[in-house]
Structure 1
Amino acid sequence: MTGWQPTATLQTLQKRADLLARIRSFFMVQGVMEVDTPVLGECGVTEPNIDTIEVLVCGQLRHLQSSPEYFMKRLLAAGSGPIYSLSKVFRDDEKGSRHNPEFTLLEWYRPGWDEVQLIAEIEQLLAALAPRFSTVRRITYREAFFDATGFDPHSVDLDVLRQLASRACSGDWQQESRSTCLDLLFSFVVEPTLHTGVVIISDYPACQAALARLDQDAEGVTVARRFEVFIDGMEIGNGYFELTDAAEQRQRFDADIELRQRSGKKPRAADQRLLAALDAGLPACAGVALGVDRLLMRLLDIDRIEEVLPFTE
């Protein structure tokens, strides 16, 4: 059989090992404990845009985890204090220059912090990894979207969003939701404008809250306390001032499940153990997940993800 050799050079793999070591060193100095959570779980995420990979284990259906988040929040509810994970995660997603079904995720949580404090720590980590990452531009979702489209994402009419989506990407978007249209426009219209340096975008539309709290911005508009990190136009990370209210989390799970059903996607059950942890008392905290493979791509100015992975199959 041919094609047995690594997809990354040995020099790149050494730099990958160095990156992992530097990340661990950073968190050791910060007093954040590394945790090792299961790769297999009873539940997959309900989020409509993420499909987990199902496997049969001892006759029972299990899911390769798309994030260690649910397990980590159970640890937080148990009193773990600040924690991080460097782990393999899996998504039944497209495979391309920036995507691989199996990838490495750095995820960490800070009890007692909000997203503003966590963003400051992300900036510290990036600056420690590369001097060129020390300059960070912070903007709101509204600012980024308006600069690229001329419309306010929080108030623009849904029909206008659908028209903009149809122009940006071929296809019929007239039945799509507000969140879906915003996702598409952000990917195809806004992200190309974030082509240089580190950009952190905050205050996402309420319809894209995911697991973030809702709050009012300076103009009195309800926004999600969520942020994303981009480096040279590539999304690297996604973080939240975490939702801790179990009742609201149940409602969001139910809404996700209904949307998956309407979209013809495989059903996903809400993670009852996570909900029980929230009922028991998840502390106020902020959390973020950073894609390590993509981070290494930006550090080394590499455009294809397989070139930073030892193997893709």
Structure 2
Amino acid sequence: MNPSHLRAKSELLDQLRAFFQSRGFTEVATPIASVEVIPERHIELFRTTAGDYLQASPEMAMKRLLCLGAGPIFQFAKAFRAEERGPLHSPEFTMLEWYRPGHDLHAGIDLLDELVQATLAPLPCKRTSYREAFVEHAGCDPFDADAVRAAAACIEAGDIDQTDELLNQLLAKRVEPQLGAERPEILYHYPATQSALAETAADDRGAAVAERFELYYRGVELANGYHELTDAAVLRRRLEEANQGRIADGRDALPMPEEMLRLMQEPGLPACAGVALGVDRLLMLRVGAGSIDEVL
């Protein structure tokens, strides 16, 4: 990292901190290692010699705080993900994560939009549904399995036959590179099967969707947000399914976040929206860097 990038990062962190403090958020700092995690099918974790896992995000600990009445909170956290290395990926990176009780999908998107205008681009974000993005850039309705298979036949999808995996291939190769070309763009209403931690709803055409949203700018994914699932029993079932998927993929099952699940039952997780934003990627775009290594 060159000295100008160091100064730019310091200025960015100050701006982000002031943004949340001016809106009544409390900054927190939670442990980066735990014997419990939130199992995700496609994220591999580092494990210490003491048997702890390094966090992929501070979500588990922050949700425990929310259950105990912390109110709106944010955190700059070190996050760790094995098997991730490339121009936009590092095994260790800085994540900004926040939660606001009382927010739903739309309020969560509005707050993210405000943050983007304050730190990256002065124009309001373009808002596009997952369905609209696929129709425009991949030429198929993502909620029509036959149409997805036909569209995926044009890309190197190997022997993948699961609709969600084909959608991920299309998203990465056809859709994401086109997102946020002119101004930051927020994608929302992902298929319900793609977000274990989000509430589900029906879109304007009756399809089951996850109340999930993601921020893109110039083809770079910057943030991932949810109208958070608050039902502990449903979440347990979804996380068990994620572990079953890991086993099917030849990976080890991961320990369940039992303390978080217990607190979600009593006293309970308040209705809220939460977002995780990659600080290093945001800095890349601010300074015009070509890879994440230039700003770490």
Cα distance in 1, alignment partners of residues 175 and 122 from structure 2: 21
How many pairs does the alignment contain?
A: 294
Alignment RMSD: 1.3
2:26 match:
33
8 Å Cα contact 1:44-1:52 kept in structure 2: no
Q: CA deviation at 1:133?
A: 4.3
8 Å Cα contact 1:45-1:52 kept in structure 2: no
Counterpart residue type for residue 136 of structure 2:
D
Cα distance in 1, alignment partners of residues 252 and 69 from structure 2: 34
Query: Given the superposition, is the C-alpha separation of residues 164 and 219 from structure 1 closer, same or farther in structure 2, using an over 3 Å criterion?
Result: closer
User: Does structure 1 residue 297 correspond to structure 2 residue 284?
Assistant: yes
Once superposed, which parts of structure 1, at least 4 consecutive aligned residues long, lie more than 6 Å away? none
> What SS class does the counterpart of residue 168 from structure 1 fall into?
coil
Q: CA deviation at 1:166?
A: 4.8
Counterpart residue type for residue 204 of structure 2:
A
8 Å Cα contact 2:105-2:227 kept in structure 1: yes
User: Does structure 1 residue 73 correspond to structure 2 residue 58?
Assistant: no
Q: CA deviation at 1:162?
A: 4.2
Q: Out of 84, 93, 105, which is 1:115 matched to?
A: 105
Cα distance in 1, alignment partners of residues 260 and 122 from structure 2: 35
1:178 match:
163
Q: CA deviation at 1:134?
A: 2.4
Counterpart residue type for residue 144 of structure 2:
S
Structure 1: segments with no counterpart, 5+ residues: 1-7
Q: CA deviation at 1:87?
A: 1.0
2:255 match:
269
Matching of residues 121-140 of structure 1 within 5 Å: 121-130=111-120, 132-140=121-129
1:189 match:
174
Cα distance in 2, alignment partners of residues 302 and 198 from structure 1: 17
Residue by residue over 1:147-205, the C-alpha shift from the partner in whole angstroms, topping out at 9 and shown as x without a partner, is: 11221111232xx534543532252223xx22211111101111122133200000001
2:246 match:
260
Cα distance in 2, alignment partners of residues 276 and 170 from structure 1: 40
Cα distance in 1, alignment partners of residues 214 and 166 from structure 2: 18
- Give the fraction of aligned pairs with identical amino acids, expressed as a percent: 41
8 Å Cα contact 1:166-1:172 kept in structure 2: no
User: Please, what TM-score do these two structures have when normalized by structure 1?
Assistant: 0.91
Structure 2: segments with no counterpart, 5+ residues: none
> What SS class does the counterpart of residue 243 from structure 1 fall into?
coil
Q: CA deviation at 1:121?
A: 1.1
2:13 match:
20
User: Does structure 1 residue 231 correspond to structure 2 residue 221?
Assistant: no
Cα distance in 1, alignment partners of residues 91 and 149 from structure 2: 30
User: Please, what TM-score do these two structures have when normalized by structure 2?
Assistant: 0.96
